[in-house]
Amino acid sequence: MALPAKKRDDAAALLAAHPAPVGESRWATEAREQAAAWFLETGAPAARDEYWRFTNPATLISAEPPKGEAQPAEEPAIWSDVERIRIVFVDGVFRPDLSDDLAEENLTIEPLSDALSVDIHWARDVFGLLEGRGQAPVPRPLASLNTAVARQGMVIRATGKVSRPVAMRYLHEEDDCDAVIRHVIRVDEGASFTLLENGPAAARFNKCMEVEVADGAEFHHVRSQGREHERRAVTHIFARVGANALFKTFTMTANGRLTRNECVVEMTGDNGSAHIAGCCLGDGSFLHDDTVFITHDAEHCESRQVFKKVLRNGATGVFQGKILVKPGAQKTDGYQISQGLLLDDNSQFLAKPELEIYADDVACSHGSTVGAVDPTALFYLTSRGVPKDAAQDMLVLAFVDEAVQEIADERLADDIRARLQAWMARRRQG
């Protein structure tokens, strides 16, 4: 079938608006050229595409970014009690003057532009490769756009157990900022590394992260997507998980006009584990989309998808999750749950859970529910003197906590819980 002219024209306009960097190494240039060619071949996403039918991508692909609502000062500190390595981006540009010294035992961190200008670099085996592998069977065109044009980001390699997490903070100052960021991460065999992220970032934000988790390694990721009401964001995580390795990611999203988080994970080594979790709190003209694709291509692997969405005043939540078990991936344990909690009759939760299994010795399940606050539980609390608003907040926190519990570090989990409570308190105050 011929590609519709509008999809091709939209792709060409986006590439023209974000010229590819020049002067990079040959391997980086080739990776960018391949990604740009793929983007033009598949075209920009459209509302009629199967995996975009719940989320209209129009504001993500317009030649001009929508106006934002810069709030650099109002974004509250998170993880302030955790000793960490701080990396700050302002309007999508790395700011070393606001960041910590990047030197750390068992860890190397360098700007993306530095790594991609070197002829021989380990990032050659990751940059563009994991994203390219994640383009089948479902095209992810805005990720290929990111590979083709991203100039900013970090290249990180953990060679052992890293004691302090890296905390990336994305600040937004220019109202019409259109930021594109790429991170490339490798966690070597037996190493462990934690990445934290928070902040509004930009009026429109395209971020992509490739994560190679080697045999016996651990990667932990906790993300809090900021308070800015007008933000549009699309993010991708592409991960490859080795034998006896652990990959864990959790995302909390509050507000924003449109947010789509995609996570594509390959389980390539026996006894690997991948946990992808998240919760969102949506109010008003809010659309939040989690799209997850996990491929099991090894034996005795475990995967978990846990997503909770709390929606009110006409907000929309979307979940699209798939578990693909390839032939020979015996003893797979795949679990998927997505739930929506509607605080009024105007909001909606749209879910598309999928299982595709080609092995005969597996334990895979999925479930999806949507409903209102349990009136019996609400009556129980109010009958014992708890004010109705506080009682509802307690039930909301209990609802999302299954997802929060996927965070391994309890200190980080408690900070997320505190942020959830603060969001609900602000909503009570109008």
Which residues fall within 8 angstroms of residue 344, CB to CB, at 6 or more apart?
A: 312, 313, 314
DSSP conformational letter for 125:
G
The CA distances from residue 217 to 92, 158, 209, in Å, are 29, 9, 17
pLDDT value at position 244?
A: 98
What is the structure's pLDDT at 72? Answer: 46
- Strands laid side by side in the 273-283 sheet: 93-94, 85-90, 166-171, 192-199, 218-225, 246-254, 273-283, 302-312, 333-342, 363-371
Residue 388 resides in a domain: no
pLDDT at 66: 75
pLDDT of residue 68: 60
Residue 383 lies in a domain: no
- Six-digit token pair at 93? 């540009």
Q: Under DSSP, is residue 16 helix (H, G, I), strand (E, B) or coil?
A: helix
Ramachandran assignment for 91, one of left (phi > 0), alpha (psi -120 to 50 degrees), beta (any other): left
In a domain, 222, yes or no: yes
3-state secondary structure of 144: helix
367: in domain: yes
On whether residue 38 sits in a domain, the answer given is yes
| Residue 26 counted as domain residue | yes
Q: What pLDDT does residue 73 have?
A: 45
Cis peptide before 45 (omega within 30 of 0): no
Instruction: Please say whether the dihedral angle defined by the alpha carbons of residues 58, 283, 81 and 164, taken in this order, is positive or negative.
Output: negative
Q: How far apart are CA 117 and CA 23, in angstroms?
A: 7
Task: Tell me the C-alpha to C-alpha distance, in Å, between residue 226 and each of 171, 176, 231, 251.
Answer: 9, 17, 9, 11
Of the candidates 225, 11, 231, 208, the one whose C-alpha atom is nearest the C-alpha of residue 128 is 208
> Quick check: 267 and 246 in contact, CB under 8 A?
no
Residue 71, pLDDT score: 54
Nearest to 151 by CA among 297, 18, 326: 18
Q: How far apart are CA 16 and CA 88, in angstroms?
A: 27
In whole angstroms, what is the distance from residue 298 CA to residue 254 CA? 36
* Number of domains into which the chain is organized: 1
- Note the pLDDT tens digit of each residue in 333-363: 999 999 999 999 999 999 999 999 999 999 9
414 assigned to some structural domain: no
pLDDT at 29: 97
CA distance 183 to 209: 5
**Which residue range(s) make up the domain with 39?**
5-372
Residue 39 per-residue DSSP state: H
Handedness of CA 156, 159, 161, 163 (dihedral sign): negative
Whether 12 maps to a domain, the answer reads: yes
Q: What is the pLDDT of residues 8-18, one digit of tens each?
A: 999 999 999 99
- Alpha-carbon span 270 to 256, nearest angstrom: 39
* pTM for this model (two decimals): 0.96
Comparing CA positions, the residue from 217, 235, 328, 325 lying closest to residue 288 is 235
Helix (H) or strand (E) holding 93: strand 93-94
Q: How far apart are alpha carbons 103 and 85 in whole angstroms?
A: 9
Structure tokens at 160: 């052992």
* CA-to-CA dists, residue 300 to 65, 196, 264, 304, 328, angstroms: 45, 29, 19, 14, 10
Separation of alpha carbons 35 and 234, rounded Å: 17
Residue-level pLDDT, tens digit, the chain, 430 residues: 578 899 999 999 999 999 999 999 999 999 999 999 999 999 999 999 999 999 999 999 987 777 666 554 445 678 888 999 999 999 999 999 999 999 999 999 999 999 999 999 999 999 999 999 999 999 999 999 999 999 999 999 999 999 999 999 999 888 889 999 999 999 999 999 999 999 988 999 999 999 999 999 999 999 999 767 788 999 999 999 999 999 999 999 988 899 999 999 999 999 999 999 999 999 888 999 999 999 999 999 999 999 999 999 999 999 999 999 999 999 999 999 999 999 999 999 999 999 999 999 999 999 999 999 999 999 999 999 999 999 999 999 999 999 999 999 999 999 999 999 888 887 777 6
